[in-house]
Structure 1
Amino acid sequence: MAYKTIEDTIGNTPLVQLVRLPDDEIRRRNNIILGKLEGNNPAGSVKDRPALSMIKHAQARGRIKPGDTLIEATSGNTGIALAMAAAIRGYKMVLIMPEDLSVERRQSMAAYGAQIILTPVKGGMEYARDLAGQMERDGRGVILDQFANPDNPLAHYETTGPELWRDTEGRITHFVSAMGTTGTIMGVSQFLKEKNPEIQIVGAEPAEGSRIPGIRKWPEAYLPKIFDRARVDRTEQVSQSDSEIMARRMAAEEGIFCGISSGGACQIALRLAHEVENATIVFVVCDRGDRYLSTGVFPA
């Protein structure tokens, strides 16, 4: 008998309807809001999909082999997912990240055996990415580069998009996603637009002054190379405060314990639901809330 491995449990995450957060106006407009529970992946986030995809395809092409050292600059979830995928496939993993990210994330990476290099907060992810590039040039490992690697959005074109189309039976009208590396929104957009060009793709960006893990607005020089503006119909800004409040409400009112970027995406989905009618709006619940307990977002 053939049993599943941990790799086989990545993807096919639940798609669930919000019951209590939609108000009377949303119900009057006959709109349905659905959350894609990516925290149900084995390493706890949507990033499990591209992490395995990038390692698997690089190995198939002969660019890397088990025992090699991989390097990646990460804001957290990709690092945890890569650490898991590296452990599964027999690679050493070096992760570079700003020092202000939650202790739960750092400990999760270490649990999978990754080496962690912390960089100054003021340098942000841009500094972390520059350091990763220098380490690769020094011959200290291979960068998979989630920001430029086409195997990142490919994972969502091959899996996430088809799952949304299947599970809504083609009824999806709007897709809302946080934009970090932009891999999720790029891959899902490509697939859904091929199925129905009328589906609206909405990207979540941070409001001025907000620092939301998983939602970024990049300086032009650091814009991910995988990003194609034509694949996003509109962007909506969301504040850190509103994202955190919505994350708490999702847990307390829907029983969905999720991270801050998921709260931001939900806030935008609810906003859209006050504008349209007869819509099926899907947003990505990127990860689980237990990854943020030390940040104070969920006070006891």
Structure 2
Amino acid sequence: MAVYRSVDELIGGTPVLDVSRLSPNPSVKLFAKLEGHNPTGSVKDRVALAMLDQAEAEGRLQPGSVIIEPSSGNTGIALAMLGQRRGYAVKIVLPGNVTAERRQMLEIYGAEIISSPAEQGSNGAVRMALELADANPDWTMLYQYGNEANPQVHYRTTGPEIVADVGGITHFIAGLGTSGTLLGAGRYLKEHVAGVQVWAVEPPAGEQVEGLRSLDEGYVPPIFEDWGGAELLDRKMIVRPRESIEATRMLATEGVFSGISGGAALAGARKAAASVDSGVIVFVVSDHGWKYLSVGAWTDDLEVAAANADGVIYF
């Protein structure tokens, strides 16, 4: 077994698991890209590392710099872990309705938490962080929603990993959050796999689904427009909170302890499988489930768990 010099080297290279037993169509294979195997348990480790490396190369960060970033959890945790190791003070603008586990992880990694109104969700955290960055020009905002390093790292790493690990892929499915995974990996796949389709999963407007956003809510991430999201995506699928939780529980039967956005991606993959004659579908399981134990997604009555999704941001 290799010995690694830094936790940075553990980021990426995540495994793919065949979960075709969950496919509603025996002629369609399902493969889960398990991003929870990154050091802080989520796909956002890739993005945080890429944004920090880019900012340092550009001279925007020096020892002692202050980083301000809006996050509903995973990006903030990744930035806090990596930033602490590099000597930066990390401030995370966090909606008031995230799970206790994510708040605790930020505290463990030494981040300062600035709470934004729960009722404004992730969009409110973005607005507050932008205001704070304007008011404090000596702070550095990496801004995952508009940072080219976000989709670029998925173009350089996630997409090539999928092509190397899964032959004959016909569909790539991921949640529509910042859109970095979809657009970066999706563009790479479009360029290297003939005929591949890229499908996005999003919640209905007004409903919370862990890690996802509806573009109808009024905020379109700049990278979605900059990377031609409207042209790249072949389809968007609506997945409701109850469907996401049901599919999260399905993943657990395969030994995959996933966050609820992973369940949403599986729900989308199952819908895709039911709509085609044959194929090979890769979907992204963005993180592990241990950050969401307090919401009862696995143990509460299904109706109760689905109702909780209306009041908690799970990612």
Q: Deviation at 1:208?
A: 4.1
Change (3 A) 1:219 1:89: farther
* Structure 2 CA distance for aligned equivalents of residues 88 and 33 of structure 1: 37
- CA deviations 1:88-147 (Å, max 9, x no partner) are 322111001111100001111111111111111122222211111111112161110001
- CA deviations 1:186-238 (Å, max 9, x no partner) are 10111111113511000001024421121101357521110021111110000
TM-score by length of 2: 0.89
- CA deviations 1:272-292 (Å, max 9, x no partner) are 111223311000000011110
- Conserved? CA contact 2:96–2:116, under 8 Å: yes
Number of residues of Structure 1 aligned to a counterpart in Structure 2: 294
Alignment of 1:223 with 2:220, yes or no, is yes
Alignment of 1:157-196 (within 5 A): 157-169=155-167, 171-196=168-193
Q: What is the identity, as a one-letter code, of the residue corresponding to 1:41? A: N
The one of 44, 58, 63 aligned to 1:61 = 58
Alignment of 1:280-299 (within 5 A): 280-299=280-299
The one of 129, 133, 149 aligned to 1:132 = 129
* Structure 2 CA distance for aligned equivalents of residues 117 and 293 of structure 1: 23
Alignment of 1:148-163 (within 5 A): 148-163=146-161
Q: Counterpart of 2:77?
A: 80
* Structure 2 CA distance for aligned equivalents of residues 201 and 13 of structure 1: 20
Q: Counterpart of 1:100?
A: 97
* Structure 1 CA distance for aligned equivalents of residues 8 and 85 of structure 2: 8
Q: Counterpart of 1:5?
A: 6
Alignment of 1:205-224 (within 5 A): 205-219=202-216, 222-224=219-221
SS of 1:88's partner is: helix
TM-score by length of 1: 0.94
Unaligned runs of 5+ in 1: none
Q: What is the identity, as a one-letter code, of the residue corresponding to 1:145? A: Y
- Conserved? CA contact 1:52–1:82, under 8 Å: yes
Q: Counterpart of 1:255?
A: 255
* Structure 2 CA distance for aligned equivalents of residues 218 and 69 of structure 1: 31
- Conserved? CA contact 2:205–2:214, under 8 Å: no
Q: What is the identity, as a one-letter code, of the residue corresponding to 1:109? A: L
* Structure 2 CA distance for aligned equivalents of residues 226 and 174 of structure 1: 22
Alignment of 1:18-33 (within 5 A): 18-23=19-24, 26-27=25-26, 30-33=27-30
Alignment of 1:144 with 2:135, yes or no, is no
Q: Deviation at 1:60?
A: 0.6
Change (3 A) 1:3 1:97: closer
SS of 2:223's partner is: coil
* Structure 2 CA distance for aligned equivalents of residues 219 and 275 of structure 1: 25
Q: What is the identity, as a one-letter code, of the residue corresponding to 1:126? A: N
* Structure 1 CA distance for aligned equivalents of residues 290 and 284 of structure 2: 17
- Conserved? CA contact 1:19–1:254, under 8 Å: no
* Structure 2 CA distance for aligned equivalents of residues 56 and 229 of structure 1: 29
* Structure 1 CA distance for aligned equivalents of residues 284 and 179 of structure 2: 13
Q: What is the identity, as a one-letter code, of the residue corresponding to 1:277? A: D
- Conserved? CA contact 1:11–1:49, under 8 Å: yes
Comparing 232-241 with 128-137, greater Cα deviation is found at 128-137
SS of 1:51's partner is: helix
- Conserved? CA contact 2:28–2:279, under 8 Å: yes
Q: What is the identity, as a one-letter code, of the residue corresponding to 2:57? A: A
* Structure 1 CA distance for aligned equivalents of residues 4 and 223 of structure 2: 35
* Structure 2 CA distance for aligned equivalents of residues 212 and 226 of structure 1: 21
The one of 43, 47, 66 aligned to 1:46 = 43
- Conserved? CA contact 1:207–1:240, under 8 Å: no
Q: What is the identity, as a one-letter code, of the residue corresponding to 2:83? A: A
Q: Counterpart of 2:312?
A: none
